Amino acid sequence: MKSLEKVPVRIFANDSDVSVAVAHRIREIILAKQASGRQAVLGLATGHTPVKVYKELIRMHREEGLDFSNVVTFNLDEYWPIEREALQSYYRWMHENLFDSVNIPAENIHIPRGDVSENEIDQHCRAYEEAIAAAGGIDIQLLGIGRSGHVGFNEPGSRKSSKTRRIHLDVVTRRDAASDFFGEENVPEMAITMGVGSILAARELCLLAFGEHKAPIVKRAVEGDISDSVAASYLQEHPNATIFLDEAAAASLTRMSKPWLVGRCKWDDKLKRSAVIWLSQEIQKPILMLTDEDYSENGLYDLIRECKGSYHLNIDVFRYLMKTITGKPTGENDKQKVLVFSPHPDDDVICMGGSIMRMIERGHEVHIAYMVSGCLSVFDHDVERYAEFVREFGEIFGLPQDSEVIDKQVIQFLRSKKPGHVDTLEVQKIKGLIRRKEAVDAAKFCGLSENQTHFLELPFYNTGKVQKLSISNADVKAVLDILNELQPTVIFAAGDMSDPHGTHRLCLEAVLKAFDEYVAGGNAKPELWLYRGAWQEWSPEQIERAVPMAPDELKKKRYAIFRHQSQKDRAMFPGPYDSREFWQRSEDRNKTTAQTYDSLGLPQYYALEAFVRYPLGRSAQWKDELETVKEE
């Protein structure tokens, strides 16, 4: 196989498997150093990516007695200026996510200080480098990668020889951090970071990346040229660097997206479809017009040789895609009991509002289960307005009310609240209630009655913070309860593995675990279909069901989304990649899918909602297939 990858890459089915493998490697180093009576020097990263590595290390410490007393740590970076106690400081983050739960001696922990004064910075950075050298250098350095290509906070323009220093954060990085700080304007403009040179000096580098939002930058770092515009590309020059990816982050690598360009393929139906669709899009010709020459000239000679020419191949793929188009979202005429799992109280209408209305129209019994309260994404000013309303409403109609709760615990609290501070329980409840009422309103607009809406309030979400808990038995039980209560024949769930805060991913984890238990409990197995969240859409080779919408239907869907008034005009967490409103993204996405189908030579529709069927049992198989190392 001719590889375009310039650094060793290991791809796993999911982030948990990657994290366990990396934690094992760290344990190996700690134990080897212990055996020779030396210290293990770990370079550590913060952010969403390494969380599960730290969880696994904590587990090893608790359950296997892994001893950290010989461990010395150096963190990559810290915001500047920031107080150590600030909610978003990396100092605090590291203690909460690792240091408080293992026995690393406090004096062995090093994190750049965000609270040094301007004129102390240079001296502090020099001392940081000296401390790394005095510890004998870093044995293994963990790295994440930012969408700007940064490692540590080495933003575009960072030189290969750079050392620990203060740096201005890139606009993309600040946008990505916006939700942690409750608004881009609250994100510090600077940070102190180890340099590219400090990182490359480590004896071993492990860069981890998860989620499809990382796929484009991973491709540039792995397959692109070494350049200071993508600091992670410098890893290509390191003698012992490995990039660990989950399948989503690996998706843009050529061996994953267009394997036929890098070697011989085992042509199964799915791969054939991908190749035909790719070719059709690449040379902008409808599928049925592709010729043998088109295939051979674009690296697909192998495929038409295997298929004995393009004629039947084109027809097979065309027919397959034609069959995905259906006005029946359940695929059935018979009345079905449908359960739609909506992570937040608006994903249902944003992502499959057209199909929900269609199913109701066709007489199916549709229920929607909202999985989390969504209280985190309500603006404080909205709560204040509602609280004032309730108070004055009570006064007008002489209703008994505890105005101290409204005054002190709501209005006064909100007026003195600092960005990012956790809401009181009362405020969280009000925010949840606002979203709940909007969800019921939108569901009614679609044609459901209130008793067809269900609010699961999964506990993993209820931290009051952006950071969530892991999925526990209580979360799975709540999902299982609703399955047992409703006994659906068809289920829809959000198949997102990379939404900004991981809420959708966690919700899907809860659904899949409960689904397995439900089926194992002897219940008839419902069909499970996945829709995409607000952030992305299935690609044409993935789509297994495409439900057309006429212009008026799309407009109606828009009005359903509008019922989520607290998310209208400006959402609290729009995600870093797209500043449009959810209804705009949703319409654009549905119209784009229709245009894509059209350009492939399929019938022209105004808009399409897309679904894939949950491929049960595939994860385990992916693992074997995907855990491959770069081949020279």
Residues with active-site annotation: 155
Instruction: Count the residues of the shown chain that bind ligand F6R, applying the rule CB under 6 A.
Output: 14
Both structure tokens of 411: 């209005």
Q: How far is CA 452 from the centre of its chain?
A: 29
Taking CB under 6 A as the rule, does residue 576 contact ligand F6R?
A: no
- The answer to whether the peptide bond before residue 81 is cis (omega within 30 degrees of 0) is yes
């982050």: which residue's tokens?
Answer: 249
Q: How many Cβ atoms are within 10 Å of 355's Cβ, its own excluded?
A: 28
Taking CB under 6 A as the rule, does residue 175 contact ligand F6R?
A: no
Contacts of 537 (CB under 8 A, 6+ apart): 589, 592, 593, 610
Distance in Å, CB of 189 to ligand F6R, minimum: 16
Distance in Å, CB of 174 to ligand F6R, minimum: 11
Where in 438-467 is the site for ligand F6R (CB under 6 A)? none
Distance in Å, CB of 461 to ligand F6R, minimum: 19
Is 68 in contact with 101 (CB distance < 8 Å)? no
Is 245 in contact with 210 (CB distance < 8 Å)? yes
Cβ distance to ligand F6R smaller for residue 151 or 387:
151
Is 187 in contact with 177 (CB distance < 8 Å)? yes
Binding pattern for the stretch 202-241 against ligand F6R, x by CB under 6 A and - elsewhere: ----------------------------------------
What is the layout of strands, in order, in the sheet containing 241-246?
A: 9-12, 241-246, 205-209, 140-143, 40-44, 71-75, 109-110
Distance in Å, CB of 557 to ligand F6R, minimum: 32
Taking CB under 6 A as the rule, does residue 188 contact ligand F6R?
A: no
Distance in Å, CB of 145 to ligand F6R, minimum: 6
Taking CB under 6 A as the rule, does residue 76 contact ligand F6R?
A: yes
Cβ distance to ligand F6R smaller for residue 91 or 538:
91
Cβ distance to ligand F6R smaller for residue 145 or 313:
145
Question: How many Å apart are CA 390 and CA 388, to the nearest integer?
Answer: 5
Cβ distance to ligand F6R smaller for residue 152 or 374:
152
Stretch of residues binding ligand F6R (CB under 6 A), selected from 144-152, 366-374, 418-426, 564-572: 144-152
DSSP string, 573-619: ---TT--S-HHHHHHHHHHHHHHHHHHTTSPP-SEEEEEEE--TTHH
Judged by CB under 6 A, the residue of 94, 151, 480, 594 near ligand F6R is 151
Taking CB under 6 A as the rule, does residue 532 contact ligand F6R?
A: no
Distance in Å, CB of 486 to ligand F6R, minimum: 37
Question: How many Å apart are CA 135 and CA 74, to the nearest integer?
Answer: 10
Question: What is the identity of the amino acid at 450?
Answer: E
Where in 38-67 is the site for ligand F6R (CB under 6 A)? 45-49
């904590």: which residue's tokens?
Answer: 58
Taking CB under 6 A as the rule, does residue 574 contact ligand F6R?
A: no
Taking CB under 6 A as the rule, does residue 198 contact ligand F6R?
A: no
Residue with the shortest CB distance to ligand F6R: 144
Cβ distance to ligand F6R smaller for residue 152 or 540:
152
Question: How many Å apart are CA 150 and CA 231, to the nearest integer?
Answer: 5
| Residues in touch with ligand F6R (CB under 6 A) | 45-49, 76-77, 144-146, 150-153
